[in-house]
Amino acid sequence: MTKVNLRFSIATMLLSFGFLCLNPLSAGANTLVSTSPISGSTISVSPTNVTITGQLPLLADAVDANVITVKDPNGDRVDDGTISISDLSASVGVKSLVVTGMYRVSYSLLSEGDEPLVGEFSFKYLAPSNIAPIEPSPEPTQSQSPASSSWATNVFVILLLFGAVIVTIGLSLYARKLFSER
C-alpha cells in the first residue's frame, strides 16, 4: 500500500467511526415505551387521564410545548388540557367518556437534546348502556343513648382517688423523714 492509499483508508475509517459514534440519532432517540390506556385496547371504565411514557426524560419546563390531545369518535376533544410531566411520563386529564367508539390520542413531547416524541394511538371505549348519576342520599342515623353509670362504679373511682391521696401523703412524709435524718 502506498502512503496516499494508507492515509485515505485511515481517514475513511476515522470519518466512518465519527459518523457512527457521534451521531445523535444513534445515541438513542426518544421512543415510545408505554401508554395508558394501552394502545389498541378495549376498556369499559372511563379513564381519568391518559399517560404516555418515553425512553428519555421529558422537559417539564416546556409545558406549553408539550401537547397531548384526546378526541372521541365524533372528533371532539375530551381531554381537559392539563398536562403534567413526571420524568419519563406525561399525562393529560380526561373528561368522563360517554360515547362508545375509538378514541384517538395525539401527542408531541419534548425531551432534552432530542427531536420531539410525536405520534398517535387509539383505544376503544365501551360505554355502559345506562349512565345514571349517583346522587348521594343521607342515611338516617340513630342517636346513641348515653351509657348509664352505676352507683358502684362511682364509689369505686372515689375510693381509688382517696387511696391515691393517702399514698401520696404517706410517700411525702416518708421522704421528709429520710431527708431530715441526713
DSSP 45-81: S--SEEEEEESS-B-SS-TTT-EEEEE-TTS-B-EEE
Query: Residue 94: what pLDDT?
Result: 93
Query: Residue 50: what pLDDT?
Result: 94
Q: What domains are there in the chain, each with its CATH number?
A: 28-125 (2.60.40.1220)
CA distances from residue 5 to 10, 12, 126 in whole angstroms, order as listed? 9, 10, 69
E strand segments, the chain: 32-36, 42-43, 49-54, 67-71, 79-86, 89-94, 101-109, 117-125
3-state secondary structure of 2: coil
Query: Residue 60: what pLDDT?
Result: 79
Question: How open is the CA angle 10-16-21, to the nearest 5 degrees?
Answer: 125
Residues 6+ apart with CB under 8 A from 113: 24
The answer to whether the predicted template modeling score (pTM) of the entire model surpasses 0.75 is no
Per-residue pLDDT of the chain in tens (182 residues, 90 and over written 9): 566 566 666 766 655 565 555 555 445 577 888 898 999 999 999 999 999 998 888 887 776 778 999 999 999 999 998 888 888 888 999 999 988 999 999 998 888 777 788 899 999 999 887 656 677 888 887 777 666 667 888 899 999 999 999 999 999 999 999 988 87
